Amino acid sequence: MEQPNFSYIDTLSGEDEAFKNKLIGIIKTEFPNEKDVYLQNIAANNFKKASENVHKLKHKITILGLEESYKIATDYENNLKENKDLGKEDFQNILKVITDFLATI
């Protein structure tokens, strides 16, 4: 599985380390909360809300340079909109990879 990276963040921030650190801080703050809300909605089989959560989480996936994971998340989001949880395990693996990565920085 691909690994998160700061390529996109580096491009956005250029040489501005303060801005880069601010972006990373925002991700570290927002991601756990967004993940928790998604997990609550998927546990409750609220696929519509879960699809909205996945949509929001896709922004973090993009910012962390996970191009293939973004495609997986998009497919999963579309499945949730059709009241199917096909792709759930793959998406949750992506969330774990991101969680583990954020814990190291």
Domain boundaries, the chain: 7-104
Please give the Cα distance from 56 to 58 (Å, whole number): 5
pLDDT tens-place string over residues 12-66: 999 899 999 999 999 999 999 999 999 999 999 999 999 999 999 999 999 999 9
Q: Furthest-apart CA pair in the chain: how many Å?
A: 44
Residues 6 or more apart whose CB falls under 8 angstroms from that of 61 comprise 69, 70, 73, 94, 98
**Short-list 24, 48, 37, CA closest to 98:** 24
Look at the alpha carbons of 30, 87, 78, 67 in this order and tell me if their dihedral is positive or negative: positive
Q: Are 42 and 88 in contact (CB under 8 A)?
A: yes
Query: What global pTM score does this model have?
Result: 0.94
